[in-house]
Structure 1
Amino acid sequence: MNETIDFSNFGTDLMRTVQDLGGNIVLINSTLDGVASLRNDFSTEIIRDKGLLVSAEIKDAFKAASNSFQGQKALEIRSRKADFTEGDIDLEITLDDIKKAYRSYYGWMLEPTRTEAEVRDNPFELFFIRQIIRQHFQFVRTKTVWKGIYNPTPVGAENIADGLLKKFTVARASTDAAAKISANHVFDGEDLTDDNAYEQVNGLAQLVASTREDMLAVPLNFYLSQVSYDKYRRNRRALFPEHVGPADKPTALDDYSQISFVIDPGLAGKQTMAITPKDNLKFIANEAPGVYYINIVKQVKSWQISIRVSVGFDFASPDLLFINDAV
C-alpha cells in the first residue's frame, strides 16, 4: 500500500540533511535527537548479529606460599548472545503531493525561490525528511527501548525490537546462569503511591546494599518514570516537611550518594524501577548510530524513500542489575 506524507503536521525549522552520492543518500548529521539520546543514555555496541556480550568476574586466587602447585580459577567468563532486528521507514512522495505542498502556504514559506519543477526534482526539504528521521529515532527511544515487543506485522516503533522489559522477564525465568536475573536481585515491592514511593525507592537501593555492597562504590543509575519520580518527591516532602520544599528535585538518593536518578521517557506508564551501571544497558547495532543509508528512487510519478536501520537493546550482566517486581 502506498503511504504519503501529511506535511502540515511537521515543524518549520527546515534544514538540508542529505547529500546526493549517486543513488544512495547518507544521513550526514549523526546527532539527530533520537540517535543522540540512544547513544548518550546507553552504552553503544557495534557488533554483528548474534554477537557476544561478555562479562568477566575476577576471583580471589591468592593462597599462602608453598612448594606445591594448586591451580586456582582466577577468572570466570560469562557470555550471552546479543541480537538486533532491522526496521524500515518507507515513504512515498507523489507528484500530486509535491504540487499541493508547493502551492500551499507552507510551500511559499519554505521554497520561496525555487520553481515547482525544481522542487519536483528535489522535494526532500519541502517534505521535512530530517524531521521525519529525527522523530522516528525518538519513537525508538520512547517506544522500543523498554516496552518494545518484536512483531513484524504491525506498523510502529514498538514492534521493531524487543525492549528491556521483555528481556528482563525472559532473564528472570532463564536457566542459563550467564543470563538469569537471580531472585535476590528483584525487589518484591508494592504499587507506588504518594504515601509509599520513598520507601519503595529506598527498598530497591537497600536490596543492592544487602546483596552487592561492593557495587555502591561505583556510580549507579536508578531508572524510573517521571510519574514515579514525582510520587517519590511528594512522599519525601511529606516525610521531611521541615527540610524539603516543593521545588526540591533530588538527583541522587538521600542515603546512597552513588545512586543517581535517571528519569527515562521510555518508562512512561510503567512502575518499573531498575538500578544498574549505565554501561550495563546496551544499545546494539551493526553500524554506528546515525550513519544509516537511505535509498531514494525516482519513479515515473513519485519518489520512493527507504531508510533501513538495525536496533537492539539488552543488558550485559544480570549480576549488575537490580529491578523491582513491576516489569
Structure 2
Amino acid sequence: MNRLAIAPLTLHCGGRPVARYEIRAEAGDLDRRQSPRPYLHPVTTLGGTPVTEFAPVDHQHHLGVGVAVPDVDGHNFWGGRTYVRDQGPTELDNHGEQRHREFKLCDPDGFVEDLEWTAESGAAGAAGAVGVLLRERRTVAVTQLADDAWALDFTFALTNPGHETVTIGSPATNGRPGAAYGGFFWRAPKEDAAPSVFTAAAEGEDAVHGRPADWLALAGGGWTLVFAGATAETRRDPWFVRTGEYPGVGSSLASLNRLAIAPGDTAVRRLVTVVADGTLDRARASSLVRKAVSA
C-alpha cells in the first residue's frame, strides 16, 4: 500500500466543482481520537453554498460526509468518546482508522475506492499488531438533476475478511436510547437558526429521528439536502437526526440490534443525497429524489 500523502480529489458536476474528497493514508494532522478516515468536504450546492462542516468545535470528530461507526467489535471508527454500558461516554484508546488502499476508478464525476478498516490489537493503551477488521469498496458518483440541484450517490460495501463474525454496534445497542448513530453520516453547517427537517409524512427532529422513511430533507439558510435510501435494505435503516444540538443526518446500521457480518459476507448500503439551492417543498423534494435514485 502506498503510505505517501495522496492529493484530494475534486468532483465536478455540470462543469463546476461541488465536492472535495480527502484521503488520509496516515493519521497525519488528524488526532487519532477523531478516528482518521476519508471524507468529503467541502461539499457545495451548484450555486456555491457550503453544505458540510469539518471538525467543528462542538464535535471535532465530525468530518464532513463519510462512513463512521462507533463500535466495530469494540473499536471506535466514529471518533470521540465511546459509550460504555452502565458507565456512559468514556475516553478509551480504541480508535480505528479507515485506510485508503487504491482507486479502482477515478473520474471527475466519481470514483471507486478500496479501503481497509484497521485497529491495533492488544490491551487498551498498549501498541500491538494492526489488524484489518473490515474491507470496504466505496463507490461515489455525482449527477446533475436540474440547474439548482445535483445528487451525490454513495455506496459502501463492508466485507469481513477474517475467520470470525464481526459485529457493528451503536450507543443505542450498548444501552443509550435514541443514539443509534453509525453508518453514512453527513455533518451540515451550524447556522444562527437550526435547520428544518421533514419527511413525506412528518416534520421536526422528534417526529423523524429514529424512524425509517423513504426520504428525509434537511433545509438550512439557502440550501436543502434530501437523503434517500436507494435499496430496500437501506430504506429499512432508521434515520439518525440532529437539528437542535447540531445539524447532522445519518443512516443507522445498528438501531435495535448489532449488525453481524459473517466471515466472507458483505453488508451493502446505498444512499443518494440531493444537494439543492434554496428551500424545497415536499413535492419538489420527492420529485428530485425519484430522479436521483433512478439516474
Q: TM-score, with normalisation over the residues of structure 2? A: 0.28
More helix by share: 1
Report the TM-score when normalising by structure 1.
0.26
> Larger C-alpha radius of gyration, 1 or 2?
1
Q: Which fold has the larger relative contact order, with Cα–Cα distance below 8 Å and residues 6 or more apart in sequence?
A: 1
Higher strand share: 2
